[in-house]
Amino acid sequence: MSDQTTPEPTSSSGKPRRPWRRVAIATLVGGLAAGIGATAIAHGGPGGGGWGGGRGWHGGEMDPQAMQRRAEAMVKWWLADVDATEAQQKKVAEIMTATMKELQPLREQHRAARRQVVEILSKPQIDRAALEAVRAQELQLAETFSRRITQSLADAAEVLTPEQRTKLAERMHRRHGRSRG
């Protein structure tokens, strides 16, 4: 046995790498995913029963102004403690609104799939192949949803400075810790 220590990994610039930065960025991305993803789901993404007790997209499409107001309110809440400028908040809200608009048709596809499953299961004979086809469609829908959310997260994260992203990650970590405690 030897008492050799392994040198700290270095970047191409020769400076020591800081693994905590990766953790902070991963936490930020996860937190933004939760925030934007939850908002998008709440407003019509796959499986989104939604918040608001029957308001929002439950009865149909949300009008663009209401969608913009919701995005702005969510952004203001998520970015409250990171000293984001009004311009940054506006840009992130625009990203969220665009994402919500793009994901809106996925909600109707998901609803149609749910209706299909109910129809299949209500027949005297269960058509397992039809159920499998609906399941495969739902996985594809979820993949599309996830890909778009990830793109939006990256777009929103680029609006913020590294320091703001770190603060946001810390806030989300605290919030996540409380909800799990």
Q: Which of the four pLDDT bands, split at 50, 70 and 90, describes residue 7?
A: low
For residue 179, what pLDDT is reported?
A: 53
Q: Is pTM, for the whole model, over 0.95? A: no
Supply the Cα-derived Rg of the chain in whole angstroms.
21
Please give the C-alpha separations between residue 42 and each of 17, 25, 72, 97, 103, in angstroms, as whole numbers. 38, 25, 15, 13, 11
For residue 4, what pLDDT is reported?
A: 52
The whole-number average pLDDT for the span 133-144 is 95
Task: Name the average pLDDT for the chain.
Answer: 75
For residue 54, what pLDDT is reported?
A: 37
Return the domain boundaries, the chain.
21-44+60-172
**DSSP string across 66-94:** HHHHHHHHHHHHHTTTTT--HHHHHHHHH
For residue 42, what pLDDT is reported?
A: 43
For residue 20, what pLDDT is reported?
A: 53
- Tens digits of residue pLDDT in 15-61: 555 555 555 455 444 544 445 444 444 444 433 433 333 344 344 55
Instruction: Name the more confident of 49 and 126.
Output: 126
User: Alpha-carbon distance 167 to 93, whole Å?
Assistant: 19
Please give the C-alpha separations between residue 132 and each of 128, 137, 141, 165, in angstroms, as whole numbers. 6, 9, 14, 41
Strand partners, 16: 10
